[in-house]
Chains A and B, each alone.
Chain A
Amino acid sequence: MTQEEHRLAVLGAGTMGVGIATLAIGYGVPVVLVDIDADRRAEAPDKVRQQLRMAQLMGGLRRDAQAGGLTVTDSLDAVAEATVVVESITERPEWKAKLMAEVTAVLPAGTPVLTNTSGIPVDELAGAAVRPEDVLGAHFMNPPYLIRAIEVVRGPRTAQASLDTALGLLTRLEREPVVVGDGPGFVINRVLQRMINEASRIVQDGIADPAAVDALFTGCLGHRTGPLATGDLIGLDNVVDSLQVLLDRTGDEGYRPSELLVDKVRAGDLGRKTGRGFHDYQGAQR
């Protein structure tokens, strides 16, 4: 596969899907972005435009780069032309499994489908695909155009050729893949989601407030953001969904979403995307 030939399809135009589309477009790779939600589709082109500027501002993209084209649609038909597909819909195992079956049915054999799942084992989703060997994990971080390293998950049935094509695209996008094995939460989220959950329990138990928890992780441990600010950036709804995925697959009670997290999601305080989560982002955005 020569470099110019890549065409990317991204399924799901949420927080991550838009960011992944921005990354590819910024490197001149054309993108088809698919979402079932009409509002998400309508907002997507503007969001991509803003994020391209954000990426350039932060030095994540070369300023002279020729942008790739963006097509936004609700139909999987346009996906058949893609050389690589990234699945980035809501973290619900049943939804992802259904989509995995549908999308692999329209794709030619050998087109890799990369799931951006936070924690569902790749092999579980591969089991729903027409060709399990075409499925692997690519765990982009938010925002994908500013974070170069990426956790790539090889499932037990993933074909070498699919992995190679996926790595080819990621290299073309100047990412730095780290290939790891399969399992609930892979490497990062097996630890990170647990940490966010535990930090939220600390707040729930009245041991420290969110500012104090995060100040300790940034100040003492040198983390760029504390666990609760990280949860706010991810989206607390996604954190709860991811914890549930991990709890269901490990039986480990440490992953049971804390009451405080569940309450915040119920109240619609999902983090940065709604202006409030553990921290407030309305009047005082830093």
Chain B
Amino acid sequence: MTTSTGDRTTEAVQRELMGFLSEHTRTTWAPDTDLFAQGGVSSLFAMQLLVHIESTYGISITGDDLNLDNFRTVQRMTALVERLRGEGSDG
């Protein structure tokens, strides 16, 4: 964990992800809503989300992290971003 991944950045990531989601789904999502539950987004959209996260935050999501559970809610995506950014900057 580095200082850049403190609370303020977490909030910014969360806000950015919620903005991306509402723009692309024309629906507002709470940070803890399961996006893929009944009536949520399609599985094809999951891939779009993944590509967006990788390019926006300069991380690459591979191996065991390629798991839909990491993308279910804005909170979980934020946690993933924080963890992978932390790993990156810590070397």
Contact = CB atoms under 8 A, between A and B. Distances in A.
B91 interface: no
Given A53-B66, A63-B63, A283 B23 contact: yes
Contact of A58 (B26, B48, B63, B68): B68
A285 B24 contact: yes
B48 A285 contact: yes
A265 interface: no
Interface size class of A (residues with CB under 8 A): 10 to 19
Contacts of B67: 57, 59, 63
Contacts of A59: 67-68
Contact of A286 (B25, B50, B51): B25
B59 interface: no
B26 A284 contact: yes
B43 interface: yes
A58 B45 CA distance: 11
Given A286-B42, A286-B45, A57 B26 contact: no
Interface string B58-91: 0000011011100100000000000000000000
A286 B42 CA distance: 5
How big is chain B's contact interface, by range?
Answer: 20 to 34
A267 B45 CA distance: 25
B36 to A, nearest CB: 10
Interface string A1-25: 0000000000000000000000000
Contacts of A56: 66
B47 interface: yes
A57 B47 contact: yes
B30 interface: no
Given A53-B66, A57-B50, A63-B63, A272 B24 contact: no
A50 interface: yes
Contacts of B50: 53, 57
B37 interface: no
A57 B46 contact: yes
A58 B42 contact: no
A146 interface: yes
Nearest to B46: A57
B60 to A, nearest CB: 10
Interface in A266-286: 272, 283-286
B66 A50 contact: no
Contact of B47 (A50, A63, A286): A50
Contacts of B45: 285-286
Interface of B: 23-26, 41-48, 50-51, 63-64, 66-68, 71
21 contacts: A50-B47, A53-B47, A53-B50, A54-B47, A56-B66, A57-B46, A57-B47, A57-B68, A57-B71, A63-B63, A146-B43, A272-B44, A283-B26, A284-B24, A284-B25, A285-B44, A285-B45, A285-B48, A286-B25, A286-B41, A286-B42
Given A57-B66, A63-B64, A283-B23, 15 more contacts: A53-B50, A53-B66, A54-B47, A56-B66, A57-B46, A57-B47, A58-B46, A59-B68, A63-B63, A63-B66, A146-B43, A283-B26, A285-B44, A285-B45, A286-B45
